[in-house]
Structure 1
Amino acid sequence: MSYAIIGFGKIGQALARAFARKNIEVAVASRRPPEALAPQALAIGPTVVAKSLREAVEADTIILAVPFGEHREVAKALSSWKGKTVIDAMNALVPLEELDGLPSSAFVAKAFTGAKLVKAFNHLVATTLAADPVVEGGHRVVFLSGDDEDATAPVAALAKQLGFAPVKLGKLNEGGALVHARGGVWGQLIFQDLFRKEQ
């Protein structure tokens, strides 16, 4: 399984740190050319590899960590996203009427034709996401939601591999709404920093 993070701002870098901590290779890409990202990527860890957007989207699993309005530009990188899992780590700080009455991730899914989309990693602020998720005798919780269990299960496994405790919330229009930020409306679980003890 190959991974890429599209967007290398605070959230993208925080996620890259999570991958580096576990020595899992991940490509990182943004609007800037890879040579501009390379020093920062290398500073995070040797498994964080700066690539062009075209190269990065060759990964099996792509994490969207761009500002919400830029997801359509990323979607244009491939004519079909069939066979790909797209993890939506964005928050839609746009007026609700711009989302056609949909949960933000369902709106995003429309742009990524053929992809399986999972909402994850969006409810924690960057500094929390970047920190070691093993705390206070437990693991920091990451909420997941998606309409396709075949995609949600591997994302849950990835979250666990990164040291988090995955909690599935159901489909995008059900549990997904609990962690969506849309306009000035915050889902009930946004910014919740929860821990789950080892079983």
Structure 2
Amino acid sequence: MSYSIIGFGAVGQAFARAFARKNIDVTVASRRPPETLTRQAQAIGPTVVPGTLQDAIASDTIFLAVPFWEHREVAKQITTWQGKTIIDMTNAFGVPLEDLDGQPSSAVVAEAFTGARFVKGLNHLPAAVLAADPSVNGGSRIVFLSSDDENAVAPVAVLAEQLGFGPIAPGPLKEGGSLVQARGNTWGQLIFKDLVRFK
């Protein structure tokens, strides 16, 4: 299984640290040329490898950590996303509700990635918290994974556990997903909740 993070701002870099801690290879890409990401990637760890957008898209599992509307530019890169899993880490805070046609923001993103298995997740924590070691006092920091496709959630949950997080699936995008989504000038009820799961 190959992994990539598209978007290498604060959130992308924060999440890359989770891969580096566990020595799992991840390609990172942005609109900028790969060489401009090298310094930050090397500072995080040797398994964080800068690549082009095309390199990132070639991965099996792609984490989308771009500003909300930039998902459209990524989605245009190939005609079908069949066989790939997209994890939507974006937030649509400040995006007018009418621009979303009354849908959850993740439903808008999902429509752009034709054929993909789609999961909304890993977006509810601020970058500084996401970057921190998810092992907390013997428990695991919770991340929420929501999807209309139950089969899409399971492998992402397995990866989240490998990275040290405690995944919880709150249900489909419209119900569970809305708890972790920003729309207009409101945040979902679970956004910014730093919770820990103990086994």
Q: Deviations over 1:65-118 (max 9, x none)?
A: 000010000111111101110000010121111111111111101111111110
- Deviation, 1:150, is 1.4
Residue equivalent to 2:50? 50
| Deviation larger for 51-60 or 37-46 | 37-46
For 1:100-111, list aligned pairs within 5 A: 100-111=101-112
Residue equivalent to 1:175? 176
- Counterparts of 2:180 and 2:59 in 1: how far apart (Å)? 26
For 1:29-178, list aligned pairs within 5 A: 29-93=29-93, 94-178=95-179
Sequence identity, in percent? Answer: 68
Q: Please give the secondary structure, in 1, of the residue aligned with 2:190.
A: coil
Q: Please give the secondary structure, in 2, of the residue aligned with 1:177.
A: helix
Amino acid at match of 2:60: D
Q: Deviations over 1:97-151 (max 9, x none)?
A: 1111111111101111111110111000000000000012211000110011111
- Counterparts of 1:21 and 1:183 in 2: how far apart (Å)? 35
**TM-score scaled by structure 1?**
0.98
- Counterparts of 2:44 and 2:76 in 1: how far apart (Å)? 28
- Counterparts of 2:183 and 2:4 in 1: how far apart (Å)? 25
- Counterparts of 1:127 and 1:188 in 2: how far apart (Å)? 20
Q: Which runs of 5+ in 2 are unaligned?
A: none
- Counterparts of 1:186 and 1:61 in 2: how far apart (Å)? 27
Amino acid at match of 1:71: H
Moved over 4 A (4+): none
- Counterparts of 2:54 and 2:84 in 1: how far apart (Å)? 14
Q: Please give the secondary structure, in 2, of the residue aligned with 1:169.
A: strand
Answering whether residue 19 of structure 2 is matched by residue 23 of structure 1, we say no
- Counterparts of 1:150 and 1:45 in 2: how far apart (Å)? 31
**TM-score scaled by structure 2?**
0.98
Amino acid at match of 1:33: P
Q: Please give the secondary structure, in 1, of the residue aligned with 2:142.
A: strand
- Deviation, 1:58, is 0.2
Q: Please give the secondary structure, in 1, of the residue aligned with 2:5.
A: strand
**How many residues in Structure 1 have an aligned counterpart in Structure 2?**
198
- Counterparts of 2:138 and 2:56 in 1: how far apart (Å)? 36
- Counterparts of 2:6 and 2:17 in 1: how far apart (Å)? 14
Q: Deviations over 1:23-68 (max 9, x none)?
A: 0000000000001111211111000000000111000000000000
- Counterparts of 1:187 and 1:39 in 2: how far apart (Å)? 35
